[in-house]
Amino acid sequence: MSKPLVGVIGSQQLIDDRYVAQRVGERNMRAVAEVADALPMMFAGEPDITDIGALLDVVDGVLLTGARANVHPTNFDTEPHPSHEPYDENRDAVALELTRVCVERGVPIFGVCRGFQEIGVAFGGSLHPEIRDLPGRMNHRAPRLDNGEIHPDPEVVFADRHDVNLTPGGTFARLLGCETIRVNSLHGQGISEIGERVVIEGVAEDGTIEAIRIADAPGFALGVQWHAEYDPQTNPINRTLFQAFGKALSESKCAK
């Protein structure tokens, strides 16, 4: 039997300040292939060349990845600011509509970091552009050197940095078999106001929302603020999440 096919959303990148490209981090692809036991296929985060209906006729699920660009504030009735750039409005246009259609059709969807934020916004939520500016919040961005550059060692950048308390008896607590986990942290934006149907399932020790699900979704519809794709081959928390996604993908494939 062939493996389930997973659509992995791409993000816009300008190469040499001249050539527009779409890219996906390889760790996302490896997480799908090696842990979810599915075949990853990148699709463009560009509405002019991505037909959502045709895409969902082909794939068995969707992975919304992290990305450098922030979700554009106009998607939640807030004015943009140059300090919160870059944005990727083309990806926004694809991801937000795709999220709603996936949930409606029961197509498994898993959001990671920016993907988590996209799921929140797709159902009417809002984002704060810089979580660390809120009173009592920690700096959730990647560790940096004294000169301001991001630390060069990925093991430092993606190290577990804070706890997440899971809702007792919730979907994540049942999947993971515990109510407190420890995760990495590499984001500036974060969910501010919760949208319709978005259920909070995990909160960091400083109150930042870290795990969500969509209420009454007929299929797998989960999101995490941390980068679960970084180490699911070795990290038991992230492995369990991608394996659960893989199980949902297999069921989706069999149901077609």
CB 98 within 8 A of CB 62: yes
DSSP count for the chain of H helices, then E strands: 7, 13
For the chain, the structural domain boundaries read 5-129+188-255
102 is catalytic: no
Q: What is the pLDDT of residue 1?
A: 66
Running along the chain, 256 residues long, what does each successive block of 10 average in pLDDT?
93 89 96 98 97 97 95 89 88 98 98 97 93 86 82 84 96 97 92 94 96 97 97 97 97 87
Q: What is the pLDDT of residue 53?
A: 96
Catalytic residue among 72, 140, 187, 227: 227
Catalytic residue among 102, 113, 140, 201: 113
Question: How far, in Å, CA of 139 to CA of 186, rounded?
Answer: 9
User: Model pTM?
Assistant: 0.95
Q: Give the count of alpha carbons within 13 A of 135, CB side only.
A: 0
Question: How far, in Å, CA of 89 to CA of 34, rounded?
Answer: 31
Q: What is the pLDDT of residue 74?
A: 93
227 is catalytic: yes
229 is catalytic: yes
Q: What is the pLDDT of residue 15?
A: 87
Residue type, 5: L
Asked if CATH classification 3.40.50.720 holds for the domain at 5-129+188-255, the reply, yes or no, is no
Q: What is the pLDDT of residue 145?
A: 80
Question: How far, in Å, CA of 82 to CA of 24, rounded?
Answer: 25
CB atoms within 10 A of CB 170: 17
